[in-house]
């Protein structure tokens, strides 16, 4: 049966949810202000500019209605838009207090509410903008306001003036404390939530990697016998057709490919050793990359590439000699070679802490929505790909403390940027000791 129910709206972003809550708070607050003003007019006989006061309240009511309408849009609410709504509240409060006694209004401390909301939900610089507006409005309301006689009966009493000044000093102190400490506490909560989200994402990714690793181990065991059989048969065929130069060359290529597969399977087993995982070996980056490129040429003899090394005067760093890192780089090189028939451009650069490898192809580029999600799950840049290679590439390089990012190059094609932390001198010496022992 076909579902005829209306489509569900997309969930609001965090600023959108905050704006919805702000709209509710605004509606309740200004309804309370309206009730208080009516009470003051009817019971206490406040002498107010009724038209101006009700114009301010109706203006805020109109803003609230427009905000509810805005929340129905599909476009997400940005932080800057949320800031503008809080500024509208501050301006509305300033106008209301101006027409109702200024700093003598007992509700003047309500200025702290939009400030607290800003400190809990907005970035640091936006919170200081709100604080600046409020700290400017308060002293201006002390000097300029529409007097309300019922609130000014003690205006000429010096003790009352001291009381007003004390209220202002307390307000400045409260504003500063809220701006600094509430923001810091809210920032800690946001960071904790972000860390928990990252932890859940890593746990899910580790589960996927473990599933792939378990299947890979079984597959490696199954491939051992067929590869050995192929190696024996290729050797016999080479001996039988030694007089056929063209066939002998093809058989030699096949033997190298089979030997490469056998070495890869052996490396898979040896690198799973716990002692090697805890004490990884390392190599100078040039030696490591030359080994990677040599291995890649065996796998892809048809590829062409051009590599640009840094200035020879720069001290060459060491990086982990990890078989999974080699496989990750080869996967990225394969993607670049598959994207275009033009030579793959490889640029290498390094500093004291990070080595950077850039791989530039001349292909059609990559949609940015896909580039941002690569590595999070099995997403492929190829029409028939499963996305497993890029997923494992991201997982491997992230495990080593590095990052992988894909960009659309300004001159066309895709630019893949790999950043890998270089090893400290102590780890280099430990690696040398492991090799000699």
Question: Is 159 contained in some domain?
Answer: no
Strand 354-360 and strand 305-308: the pairing is unpaired
- 99 and 247 inside one domain: no
Q: Which residue shows structure tokens 């301006």?
A: 91
319, with CB counted inside 10 A (0-12, 13-18, 19+), is buried
Determine which of 21-35, 187-201, 304-318, 333-347 has the lowest per-residue pLDDT on average. Answer: 187-201
Residues 220 and 287 in one domain: no
Statement to judge: residues 287 and 259 lie in one domain: no
**Which is higher by pLDDT, 150 or 363?**
363
pLDDT value at residue 3: 44
- Token pair 């589960």 is found at 207
* Angstrom distance (rounded) from CA 28 to CA 50: 21
According to the model, what pLDDT value does residue 193 have? 76
- Most confident residue range from 44-48, 60-64, 201-205: 60-64
Quote the pLDDT of residue 293. Answer: 93
Q: Quick one: 267 and 379 in the same domain?
A: no
What is the 3-class SS of the chain, one letter each residue?
CCCCCCCCCCCCCHHHHHHHHHHHHHHHHHHHHHHHHHHHHHHHCCCCCHHHHHHHHHHHHHHHHHHHHHCCCCCCCCHHHHHHHHHHHHHHHHHHHHCCCHHHCCCHHHHHHHHHHHHHHCCHHHHHHHHHHHHHHHHHHHHCCCCCHHHCCCCCCHHHHHHHHHHHHHHHHHHHHHHHHHHHHHHHHHHHHHHHHHHHHHHHHHHHHHHHHHHHHHHHHHHHHHHHHHHHHHHHHHHHCCCCHHHHHHHHHHHHHHHHHHHHHHHHHHHCCHHHHHCCCEEEHHHHHHHHHHHHHHHCCCCCEEEECCCCCCCCCEEECCHHHHHHHHHHHHHHHHHCCCCEEEEEEECCCEEEEEEECCCCCCCHHHHHHECCECCCCCCCCCCHHHHHHHHHHHHCCCEEEEEECCCCCEEEEEEEECCCHHHHHHHHHHHHC
Residue 236 in any domain: the answer is: yes
Q: Which of 32-36, 213-217, 275-279 has the lowest mean pLDDT?
A: 275-279
What is the reported pLDDT for 385? 47
Residue 90 confidence (pLDDT): 95
Domain assignment of residue 183, yes or no: no
Tell whether 359 and 427 lie within a shared domain.
Answer: yes
Say what the pLDDT of residue 91 is: 96
Question: In the prediction, which pLDDT does 84 show?
Answer: 95
Query: Between residues 3 and 264, which one has the greater pLDDT?
Result: 264
pLDDT digits (tens, 9 = 90+) for 399-416: 888 988 888 888 888 899
**167 belongs to a structural domain:** no
- Per-residue pLDDT at 164 exceeds 70: no
Query: Do residue 264 and residue 287 come from a single domain?
Result: no
State the Rg of the chain over Cα: 34
Q: For 59-73, 146-160, 231-245, 375-389, which range has the lowest pLDDT when averaged over its residues?
A: 375-389
Do 141 and 290 reside in the same domain of the chain?
no
Is 177 a domain residue? no
* 219 plus 107 within the same structural domain: no
pLDDT for the residue 13: 55
Residue range(s) defining the domain that contains residue 333: 275-436
Q: What are the tens digits of pLDDT across the range 313-371?
A: 778 889 988 878 888 899 899 988 888 888 999 999 998 889 999 999 988 877 766 66
Domain boundary among 256, 273, 290: 273
The predicted structure's pLDDT at residue 390:
79
pLDDT tens-digit readout, 238-287: 888 888 888 888 888 888 888 888 877 776 666 555 445 556 678 899 99
> How confident is the prediction for the chain on average, in pLDDT?
79
What's the rounded Cα separation, in Å, for the pair 17 and 381? 34
pLDDT of residue 271: 59
CA distance 405 to 368: 11
On the CB side of 292, how many CA atoms lie within 13 Å of its CA?
27
Q: Are residues 293 and 331 located together in one domain of the fold?
A: yes
CA–CA distances in Å: residue 36 to residues 45, 110, 123, 226: 12, 14, 34, 88
Residue 112 has pLDDT above 80, yes or no: yes
pTM of the model: 0.48
364 and 333, same domain (yes or no): yes
pLDDT at 4: 46
Region 304-319 average pLDDT: 86
Residues 126 and 252 in one domain: no
Residue 130 pLDDT > 90, yes or no? yes
Q: Where does a domain end: 228, 253, 273?
A: 273
Task: Give the number of domains in the chain.
Answer: 3
Which of 59-63, 129-133, 351-355 bottoms out in mean pLDDT, i.e. has the lowest? 351-355
**Predicted local confidence at residue 327, as pLDDT:** 86
**pLDDT for position 398:** 85
Report the percent of the chain where pLDDT is more than 90: 22
Does 148 reside within a domain?
yes
pLDDT at 213 over 70: no
The whole-number average pLDDT for the span 280-300 is: 88
d(Cα 62, Cα 57) in Å, to the nearest integer? 9
**Domain co-membership, 216 together with 297:** no
State which of 273, 291, 316 marks the end of a domain: 273
Is 50 exceeded by the pLDDT of residue 16?
A: yes
Distance CA 172, CA 167 (A): 9
CATH number where 408 lies:
3.30.565.10
Q: What is the pLDDT of residue 9?
A: 41
- Residue 250: HSE in the Cβ half-sphere, 13 Å Cα cutoff: 6
* Rounded CA separation 291/293 (Å): 6
In a domain, 132, yes or no: yes
216 within some domain: yes
Residue scoring higher pLDDT (363 or 55): 55
Highest-scoring range by mean pLDDT, 29-33, 146-150, 262-266: 29-33
> pLDDT at position 432, please?
53
The confidence band for 6, taking pLDDT boundaries of 50, 70 and 90, is very low
């Amino acid at each position: 049966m076909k579902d005829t129910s209306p489509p569900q709206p997309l969930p609001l972003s965090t600023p959108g949810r905050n704006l919805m809550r702000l709209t509710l708070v605004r509606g309740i607050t200004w309804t309370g202000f309206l009730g208080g003003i009516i009470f003051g007019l009817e019971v206490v006989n406040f002498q107010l500019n009724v038209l101006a006061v009700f114009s301010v309240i109706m203006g805020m009511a109109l803003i609230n209605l427009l905000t509810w309408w805005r929340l129905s849009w599909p476009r997400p609410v940005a932080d800057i838009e949320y800031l503008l709504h809080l500024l509208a509240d501050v301006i509305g409060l300033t106008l209301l207090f101006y027409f109702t006694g200024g700093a003598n209004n007992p509700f003047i401390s309500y200025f702290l509410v939009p400030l607290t909301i800003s400190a809990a939900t907005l970035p640091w610089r936006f919170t200081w903008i709100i604080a600046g507006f409020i700290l400017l409005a308060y002293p201006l309301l002390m000097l300029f306001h529409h007097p309300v006689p019922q609130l000014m009966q003690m205006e000429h009493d010096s003790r009352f003036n001291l009381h007003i000044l004390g209220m202002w000093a307390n307000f400045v102190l409260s504003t500063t404390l809220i701006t600094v400490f509430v923001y810091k506490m809210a920032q800690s909560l946001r960071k904790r939530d972000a860390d928990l989200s990252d932890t859940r994402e890593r746990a899910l990714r580790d589960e996927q990697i473990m599933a792939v690793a378990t299947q890979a181990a079984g597959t490696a065991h199954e491939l051992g016998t067929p590869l050995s059989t192929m190696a024996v048969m290729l050797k016999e065929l080479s001996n039988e057709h030694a007089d056929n130069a063209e066939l002998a060359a093809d058989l030699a290529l096949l033997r190298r490919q089979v030997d490469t597969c056998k070495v890869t399977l052996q490396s898979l087993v040896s690198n799973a050793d716990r002692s090697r995982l805890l004490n990884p070996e390392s190599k100078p980056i040039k030696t490591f990359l030359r080994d990677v490129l040599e291995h890649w040429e065996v796998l892809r003899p048809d590829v062409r590439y051009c590599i640009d090394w840094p200035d020879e005067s720069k001290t060459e760093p060491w990086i982990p000699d990890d078989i999974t890192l080699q496989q990750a780089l080869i996967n990225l090189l394969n993607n670049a070679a598959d994207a275009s028939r033009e030579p793959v451009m490889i640029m290498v650069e390094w500093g004291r802490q990070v080595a950077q490898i850039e791989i530039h192809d001349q292909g059609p580029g990559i949609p940015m929505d896909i580039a941002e999600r690569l590595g999070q799950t099995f997403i492929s840049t190829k029409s028939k790909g499963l996305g497993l290679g890029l997923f494992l590439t991201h997982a491997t390089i992230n495990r080593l403390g590095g990052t992988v990012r894909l960009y659309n190059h300004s001159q066309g094609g895709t630019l893949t940027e790999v950043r890998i932390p270089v090893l400290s001198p102590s780890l280099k010496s430990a690696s040398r000791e492991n090799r000699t022992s």
